[in-house]
């Protein structure tokens, strides 16, 4: 039996390194491998590369280079934002945190731990059935002692884009001293990110979601927004994040960010059209299927299919055998036997409905999407087929 052509539709979990990114990283892996903190020429070359990458990423995001702190990824950036703000400003401004119910686990788990330890009070704001969080509900949760509001720019499971700018303005109208953080890990390269327009105080991004290397991220902190460092040591990154900088990964991140921003206008239109075509085909061909957050503004490359009466794990496994690589939600949590918190927040029952996340990339073709739709329809049909009839029983003699 000939193995089917494998179709990768899990770009929301991670993306392949773009060839341009590999080329940008190689010199710092094999030739310019100096420590950026060293005073000699090799160290100065490495420092120049880090500073240049910071300049380039700042241009993509629309901020000042000094407002960016390089991290090991989006999770560390989120933790630095939440914990760093609370520890620096909690005693002065209050220890109340406001987050949405659909945040990434890096935010939700962090605030839950802080709440359980008595270090902070936490209000979790629910979302609507379309996966969007009402900015008015965010504002209503803000109190005089609220120190931080965190609302992601785009959800990583269903793709719903949030109205962060409006939420930030309404939150500050309630409490002018509140700081606003947004997790933009899934948004970079898919929707415009203009920090001046978003008007947030902190924003997290990651390289491996946009064709850059794993283990590289960054936190934007508006100039004057002081944070308590979470890693102590040599005082790198202006004292905000100690540890020798990963020069190759940082150079790759800057290259990837420029690449996806340059391609974004064309790719957004192309990928949205392919996604919409697949959704139409699946909805017409597979019974008991729906699209989560379909009425919301969504990331152009992401579709979350809901299949009533099916098991997400079984469907993902069946599609893997069929050569379609998808996930059942966040790649950071899909290995755990826990229901999707995003589905629960949207009012869905994960025990009765499967969520299958499909996410396209810059190289996903129309032929692949047509083939994927056919394989998905087949897999759903098999998953929902009536169970075999029970064995016949006969009366005892």
For residue range 279-320, list pLDDT tens digits in order: 999 999 999 999 999 999 999 999 999 999 999 999 999 999
- Quick check: 394 pLDDT over 50? no
**What are 30-43's pLDDT values in tens digits?**
999 999 999 999 99
Mean predicted confidence (pLDDT) in 133-150: 99
User: Phi and psi (nearest 5°) for 35?
Assistant: -85, 125
Are 143 and 206 members of one domain?
yes
The contacts of residue 20 (CB under 8 Å, 6+ apart) are: 255, 259
- Quick check: 397 pLDDT over 60? no
Are 246 and 334 members of one domain?
no
357 lies in some domain: yes
Residue among 69, 92, 64 at smallest CA distance from 81: 69
Domain boundary among 259, 279, 299: 259
Are 275 and 359 members of one domain?
yes
Q: What is the mean pLDDT of the chain?
A: 95
Domain boundary among 243, 259, 275: 259
**What are 51-84's pLDDT values in tens digits?**
999 999 999 999 999 999 999 999 999 999 999 9
197 lies in some domain: yes
CA pair distance 246, 314, nearest whole angstrom = 39
71 lies in some domain: yes
- Please state which of the ranges 226-235, 268-277, 381-390 shows the lowest mean pLDDT: 381-390
Q: Catalytic residue among 63, 132, 210, 332, which?
A: 332
Grade residue 335 by pLDDT with cuts at 50, 70 and 90: low
167 lies in some domain: yes
Compute the residue count for the chain: 397
388 lies in some domain: no
394 lies in some domain: no
Q: Is 63 a catalytic residue?
A: no
The contacts of residue 311 (CB under 8 Å, 6+ apart) are: 354, 383
Mean predicted confidence (pLDDT) in 198-209: 98
Are 269 and 250 members of one domain?
no
The contacts of residue 25 (CB under 8 Å, 6+ apart) are: 213, 248, 249, 251, 252, 255
Are 125 and 251 members of one domain?
yes
391 lies in some domain: no
Domain boundary among 234, 259, 284: 259
Are 350 and 289 members of one domain?
yes
CATH of the domain at 319: 3.90.1150.10
Alpha-helix residue ranges (DSSP H) falling in the chain = 19-25, 27-30, 41-61, 74-93, 105-116, 135-141, 164-174, 195-198, 247-285, 312-321, 341-345, 366-383
pLDDT value of position 385: 82
Are 157 and 185 members of one domain?
yes
Q: Under a CB-based contact definition with an 8 Å cutoff, are residues 85 and 93 in contact? A: no
CATH of the domain at 243: 3.40.640.10
CA pair distance 186, 184, nearest whole angstrom = 6
Are 134 and 67 members of one domain?
yes
Percent of the chain with pLDDT over 70: 94
CA pair distance 122, 99, nearest whole angstrom = 8
Grade residue 339 by pLDDT with cuts at 50, 70 and 90: confident
Are 207 and 276 members of one domain?
no
Are 33 and 140 members of one domain?
yes
Grade residue 105 by pLDDT with cuts at 50, 70 and 90: very high
- Quick check: 390 pLDDT over 50? no
pLDDT value of position 72: 98
116 lies in some domain: yes
**What are 225-270's pLDDT values in tens digits?**
999 999 999 999 999 999 999 999 999 999 999 999 999 999 999 9
320 is in which domain, residue-wise?
7-15+264-383
The domain tally of the chain equals: 2
pLDDT value of position 3: 72
Are 102 and 189 members of one domain?
yes
Q: What is the pTM of this model?
A: 0.94
The contacts of residue 132 (CB under 8 Å, 6+ apart) are: 160, 162, 163, 293, 296
């Amino acid at each position: 039996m000939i193995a089917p052509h494998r179709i990768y539709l899990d770009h929301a979990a991670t993306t392949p390194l773009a060839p341009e990114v590999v080329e940008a990283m190689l010199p710092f892996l094999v030739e310019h491998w100096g420590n950026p903190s060293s005073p000699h020429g090799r160290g100065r070359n490495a420092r120049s590369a880090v500073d240049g990458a910071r300049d380039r990423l700042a241009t993509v995001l629309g901020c000042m280079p000094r407002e960016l702190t390089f991290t090991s990824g989006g999770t560390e950036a989120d933790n630095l934002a939440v914990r760093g703000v609370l520890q620096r400003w909690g005693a002065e401004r209050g220890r109340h945190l406001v987050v949405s119910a659909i945040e990434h686990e890096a935010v939700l788990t962090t605030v839950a731990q802080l709440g359980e330890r008595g270090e902070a009070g936490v209000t979790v704001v629910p979302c609507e059935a379309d996966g969007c969080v009402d900015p008015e509900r965010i504002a209503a949760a803000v109190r005089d002692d609220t120190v931080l509001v965190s609302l992601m720019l785009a959800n990583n499971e269903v793709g719903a884009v949030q109205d962060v700018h409006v939420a930030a303005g309404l939150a500050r109208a309630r409490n002018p001293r509140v700081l606003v953080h947004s997790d933009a890990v899934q948004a970079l390269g898919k929707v415009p990110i203009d920090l001046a327009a978003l008007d947030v105080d902190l924003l997290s991004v990651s390289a491996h979601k946009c064709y850059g290397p794993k283990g590289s991220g960054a936190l934007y902190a508006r100039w004057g927004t002081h944070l308590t460092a979470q890693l102590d040591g040599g005082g790198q990154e202006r004292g905000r994040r100690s540890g020798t900088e990963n020069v190759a990964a940082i150079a790759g991140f800057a290259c990837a960010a420029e690449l996806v921003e340059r391609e974004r206008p064309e790719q957004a239109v192309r990928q949205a059209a392919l996604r919409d075509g697949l959704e139409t085909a699946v909805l017409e061909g597979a019974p008991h299927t729906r699209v989560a957050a379909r009425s919301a503004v969504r990331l152009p490359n992401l579709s979350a299919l809901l299949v009533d009466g099916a098991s997400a794990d079984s469907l993902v496994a069946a599609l893997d055998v069929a050569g379609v690589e998808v996930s059942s939600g966040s790649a950071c949590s899909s290995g755990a036997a826990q229901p999707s918190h995003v589905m629960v927040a949207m009012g869905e029952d994960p025990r009765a409905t499967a969520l299958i996340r499909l996410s396209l990339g810059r190289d996903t073709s129309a032929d692949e999407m047509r083939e994927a739709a056919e394989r998905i329809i087949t897999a759903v049909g098999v998953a929902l087929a009536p169970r075999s009839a029970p064995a016949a029983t006969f009366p005892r003699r």
